[in-house]
Structure 1
């Protein structure tokens, strides 16, 4: 039996809108882990990351024609689920007997609704997929019933059958490394967003799953509120593999909790130092999880930037969204990073529940006052699987249109504000932050230090100016 994994064919313009020139083209780790485990278990496996490579529907259909798989495995977010369904429909028209499986965060959060809305999907995998996909392929290969396979929803006659959730994988170290070797053109065709890296080629890694925090805008449907992680030894082995096999020089750790568990973090940092290789890396972090000793070790191990979820400059908003941090902790974390020689990026969100002109002004003020080196300003989006999705009508007007949920479109407007208010503040925060001598000078320094970024940066700058203009 042969399975072909793919992300939906979707253009950079669809993903990032007018900021498409600043978008990331890094591969999906989800399908890479699935491809690795199916291959390890003896199934013929191929894949294409259509989203990362901006492949068209016709391009991806050509892949299907060449590979002729028995099963197509698609993964999709809320925003890309329509693209996945559209492609699946085209596949069914050409290959009516092919089994199509859908997985990912969206179908996990809305399993029955997704299957009812898109009859082109035969089976949905709910939650972590590595163990489920093997049981599923074994059953499909032997034409056995699917009723006893945990973690799926499937069609049986006219019914949609749910088999219940599967427990989380307790020992992640038993998973093989992602199947990067199956990616066409890896690593050079897969680029991160401009200024997100210092060295090329670069990859993103996720070394743990789940998050114990309870922010109302985060989807915990796939991995839950518990956290399970790959061991430090596994992570170091994966880094060594990528450096030796593919010449990777930079890593972006995308874990929600990479810094939180200090013992593992210290072991990873020391392991990188002991490898004696010249790599650099960035990560995500919470402002209440950093201290001077930790940051010093991270810097020695090659960390040059930490991205913090700051979200708002108003303490009352941080409380409403259950962020469980304070403005004082935000200031302290950014200051400590600056002292340690680590750059910082702040993630801000516009349009929180109970947001007002006053709280938005506080966010603008904080973004300018903090000694941040970079920011990202997105719109609050009540994704399925989040607390705010269930409670959105309590706090504002919510347009529950999956096709618009990409963090850039405005789908939620807090009571007392307008669409124009949110758009104006998002633009104002971005423009006021970036169009300052310190920020422009620092970006120019980074560009001079890494001229390989020139083309990518030019496209990003053109997209930014097109969206925000150059006048205040």
Structure 2
């Protein structure tokens, strides 16, 4: 057996079954840089981001490693089946295979759960050589080494991803990662991250921290911001965070000095009962003041919202749009509730017989809309029908897509940031126009042909 492994980050198919390909992406997963850096020196390795380049199905690698964050699991399964038919050993990793090991196991020789570090990768590869590969490996998260950024072409990535750690201190019911980490998080040693930032500073000025929550550990964040400022990095960057950072003026000031210009914050709902239901430990009544403090610190807010939660009604679209427009949310990022397999919400909907499919494997295999489910209602809401949720979602986008609102949300003290915000808001408007057109086409097809006895009326 040749000691060579081929890592693949699959693309995914859109709702029409077309495999998405392109030359540039907003951001990519850090799975391949992490895995590549963990491979022992006596093994050869290749990496492929399928969005940019075709998978080499004629590779001489004996082992194929496929990583799937979510949607890509379907395309990953296609790729895995092809390689297994060629006699290759296929291992499947990433968040979605860990959440859905039954589905992944049908298409691979082993499912890797967790974030394997150098020791775990060595153990897995040694087991392959010995013919003793286990069907599943449960790995403790380990990213305490420098990642291999040579596998990412900075010319193809708008924001280069970096990470301080994995996991989250919160345990939100809708979040698939909460079911994995259960309120725990694992931080990297700052020396590794700072060395990576030194490397990247010579190649790009735009980065994004892809942590689930960069505010997991306040002491760590403050220390990191001070060190980034001392090293005089010229990065403009953003990060995911929780709204409680709005109560921390020192952290906000240090974030701004270190180059942070956008925080991606999961507000999720403007209805307190919704937030209580999913164990999100925040207060809607504090949102306006927290948002103001973040904006006053010179940091823009990109806010995530979920539409169609159990306490939402046909009035929620108007209420949510009013909140976003009133309180200076620079970039609203909204989707219909996605009952991701493995999440608490998914299990709750299953137990109440409110999910469109009761079997997790059937849900993943047959429900092709899971590939693009941000605008599709896959469950039975309490106060609306699935159709009312989908119609309300389109109405919500309509209320936020006027060009005047786009320009207002995109204003900043940085030309680059203004252009970024306008572009992202424009994509938001484009999604609305696509959905509106698709809905009109569906309505026409459902209405049927015009009867001859009324055609002339």
| TM-score class, shorter | 0.7 to 0.9
Q: Secondary structure at the match of 2:211?
A: coil
Following superposition, the deviation at residue 445 of structure 1 comes to: 7.1
Partner of 1:2: 4
User: Where in structure 2 are the equivalents of 1:274-293 lying within 5 Å?
Assistant: 274-290=230-246, 291-293=248-250
Q: Secondary structure at the match of 2:410?
A: helix
Partner of 2:193: 235
Partner of 1:263: 219
Q: Tell whether the 8 Å contact from 2:98 to 2:114 is kept in structure 1 after alignment.
A: yes
Following superposition, the deviation at residue 249 of structure 1 comes to: 0.3
Q: Secondary structure at the match of 1:91?
A: helix
Following superposition, the deviation at residue 436 of structure 1 comes to: 5.8
Q: In the aligned structure 1, how far is the partner of 2:332 from the partner of 2:18?
A: 16
Give the TM-score, by structure 2 length: 0.82
Tell whether 2:379 aligns with 1:412. Answer: yes
Q: Tell whether the 8 Å contact from 1:207 to 1:230 is kept in structure 2 after alignment.
A: yes
Q: Tell whether the 8 Å contact from 2:92 to 2:111 is kept in structure 1 after alignment.
A: yes
Following superposition, the deviation at residue 423 of structure 1 comes to: 1.8
Following superposition, the deviation at residue 448 of structure 1 comes to: 5.8
Q: Tell whether the 8 Å contact from 1:37 to 1:176 is kept in structure 2 after alignment.
A: no
Unpaired runs of 5+ residues, structure 2, are: 358-362, 438-457
Q: Which runs of 4+ in 1 moved over 6 A?
A: 12-18, 444-447, 450-459
Partner of 2:33: 32
Higher relative contact order (CA 8 A, sep 6+): 1
Partner of 2:126: 138
1:126 to 113, 116, 121: 113
Q: In the aligned structure 1, how far is the partner of 2:176 from the partner of 2:34?
A: 21
Q: In the aligned structure 1, how far is the partner of 2:311 from the partner of 2:422?
A: 41
Q: Deviations over 1:325-353 (max 9, x none)?
A: 00123222210012111111110001113
Q: Tell whether the 8 Å contact from 1:218 to 1:386 is kept in structure 2 after alignment.
A: yes
Q: In the aligned structure 2, how far is the partner of 1:367 from the partner of 1:76?
A: 32
Q: Tell whether the 8 Å contact from 1:396 to 1:414 is kept in structure 2 after alignment.
A: no
Q: Secondary structure at the match of 1:413?
A: coil
Q: Deviations over 1:351-408 (max 9, x none)?
A: 1134333455433332232211110011111112211111114567312422432441
Partner of 2:209: 253
Cα 1:30–1:188 change in 2 (3 A) is same
Partner of 1:69: 61
Q: In the aligned structure 2, how far is the partner of 1:385 from the partner of 1:292?
A: 36
Q: Secondary structure at the match of 1:426?
A: helix
Unpaired runs of 5+ residues, structure 1, are: 148-153, 155-161, 192-201
Cα 1:111–1:457 change in 2 (3 A) is closer
Q: Tell whether the 8 Å contact from 2:394 to 2:435 is kept in structure 1 after alignment.
A: yes
Give the TM-score, by structure 1 length: 0.80
- Count of equivalent residues: 421
Following superposition, the deviation at residue 7 of structure 1 comes to: 1.5
Partner of 1:159: none
Partner of 1:218: 175
Q: Secondary structure at the match of 1:357?
A: coil
Following superposition, the deviation at residue 274 of structure 1 comes to: 0.8
Q: Secondary structure at the match of 1:125?
A: strand
